[in-house]
Amino acid sequence: MSRISLTQRLTLMFVSAASSVLLALGFVIAASVEQHFEELDMEVLSGKMELTRQAFLAVTSHEGLTQFTHQLAQSLVGHQGLEVMVIDADQSVIFATGNADFSPEVVISQAARTPGRSGLWTQGSQTYRGLAAQIPTATLDSNGLAVNVYVAVATDIAQHTAYLSAFLKTLWLFVAAAVALTGVLGWAAVRRGLMPLRTMREQAQVVTAQQLSHRLQVQHMPVELAELAQSLNDMLARLDEAFTRLSDFSSDIAHELRTPVSNLMTQTQVVLSRPRDVAEYRSVLESNAEELERMARMISDMLLLAKAENGLVVPSREAVDLTKEVRALFDYYEAVADEKHLQLSLSGPSAVPLLADRLMLRRALGNLLSNAIRHANPDSCVRVTLGQASDALTVTVENVGDTIAPEFLERIFDRFFRLDPARQHGDGTGLGLAITKSIIVGHGGTIVATSSGAVTKFTIRLPHSPMLA
């Protein structure tokens, strides 16, 4: 069954079910017809038996019994196929029609065991349906007891048998033809019903690595296949998104690494173009070392980001106090803030417990604080606000500086995205905010950015840890 097609399976199942129903119907019809013929025969036999019973009640002597048998023979003239046999108590046949050559033992036995029920009697090549009964007469024996006789009434069922045989032959031929026709129609119906599957296959064959945006049609699909098509479309959407993200990531890597590699090659070729003193060589090597260090940091960041986006970074959680972590970051960035005459402000609860990966969470908060200090106006304040809600903890980092345009806010967490040249300072790789978002999402939280009225604000929302809620 595993190697045949779905069309063949359904066709065989449909034909099997239809055949079972037709065969059962055929047996019911055949049994019904046979029972009808039996009821017709029993009606005739019962009538004759009752007529005979009433007539024997009028027989009052042995002479009258003999005379009655002659009258009975005359009354059966014209009843073709009807046979009557009368047997006395000594199993002697006192009357029988021409073809009534039944065994007295069989007649007496049936009359004694199943009176009123018919049986099939065979005589040569003829088959009869017979009814036997013990009938009392009005004649008395020497002891003054009523004389009983055994009467057998039978009818030839050859005509019924021939008709039933022809009927059954026609019936089974019809059933066989109906089964064959059912198979053909079932195969056609199954092929028609499975046409949406072939349509899905044809549509799926169009999908390639270059055409992942193609989707299966769901509107005209049956309900059962529509759910499958929608699931396949969802899968294609995820593959398309992952493939696009991978392509963009590869393009971003190539774009970001091309410039430093080109600078290194150019500087090296220029230095090697003619002999130079040791100081010049040392200056070029120091410049190359700085560029290589930046590239190493970028590659490390990209590796971490790639793992985070593919769910490979699972934070090892421990008890973390957000308040202490923010204060530790303030101590780290205090010197940089003093150079720009910035104030670092922390507000909120004195202790905000959380289960998190300490190093990763510190890196995420450090990226936000570093960006806020880098882009803040001199003599302003960088504020960090901690909050506790019923279902989450919040961390807000805000600074006063240039307002970020709405179209940039939508892309600010993209890899290698940088704002316009007026906001570009330092030697960042453009991966800080993307890494921050991956870390927050890895902890089950969210991060959003807003900017208006020269105030830029990043808000982190982290769910309560079950152990600390």
Range 6-165: architecture per CATH: 2-Layer Sandwich (3.30)
- Which residues of 370-435 form beta strands (DSSP E)? 381-388, 392-400
The pairing of strands 343-347 and 381-388 is parallel
Residue 142 pLDDT class (50, 70, 90 cuts): low
Side by side, the strands of the sheet bearing 455-463 are: 343-347, 381-388, 392-400, 455-463, 446-452
Q: What is the rounded distance in angstroms from the CA atom of residue 403 to the CA atom of residue 395?
A: 20
Give the pLDDT confidence of 323-333 residue by residue, as tens digits.
999 999 999 88
Within 10 angstroms of residue 195's Cβ, the number of other Cβ atoms is 10
With b meaning 16 or more CB within 10 Å and e meaning fewer, what string describes 43-63? ebbeebbeebeeebeebeeee
Q: What is the rounded distance in angstroms from the CA atom of residue 251 to the CA atom of residue 256?
A: 9
Question: What's the mean per-residue pLDDT of the chain?
Answer: 80
Whether the Cβ atoms of residue 98 and residue 116 lie closer than 8 Å to each other: no
Higher pLDDT, 100 or 368: 368
Higher pLDDT, 418 or 439: 439
Q: What integer is the mean pLDDT of 20-46?
A: 87
Whether the Cβ atoms of residue 382 and residue 340 lie closer than 8 Å to each other: no
Domain residue limits, the chain: 6-165, 223-309, 318-463
- State the pLDDT at residue 398: 93
What is 318-463's CATH topology? Heat Shock Protein 90 (3.30.565)
Among 322, 260, 255, smallest CA distance to 287 is for 260
Q: What is the rounded distance in angstroms from the CA atom of residue 89 to the CA atom of residue 314?
A: 106
Residue 469 pLDDT class (50, 70, 90 cuts): very low
- State the pLDDT at residue 67: 64
Read off the tokens for 219. Answer: 């509107």
DSSP result, 309-324: HTT------EEEEHHH
CATH of 223-309, one of 1.10.287, 2.60.40, 3.30.70, 1.25.40: 1.10.287
Q: What is the rounded distance in angstroms from the CA atom of residue 396 to the CA atom of residue 413?
A: 16
pTM: 0.48
Q: What is the rounded distance in angstroms from the CA atom of residue 217 to the CA atom of residue 177?
A: 40
- State the pLDDT at residue 421: 44
Those residues whose C-beta lies under 8 Å from the C-beta of residue 147, and which sit 6 or more positions away, are 65, 88, 89, 136, 137, 139, 140, 141
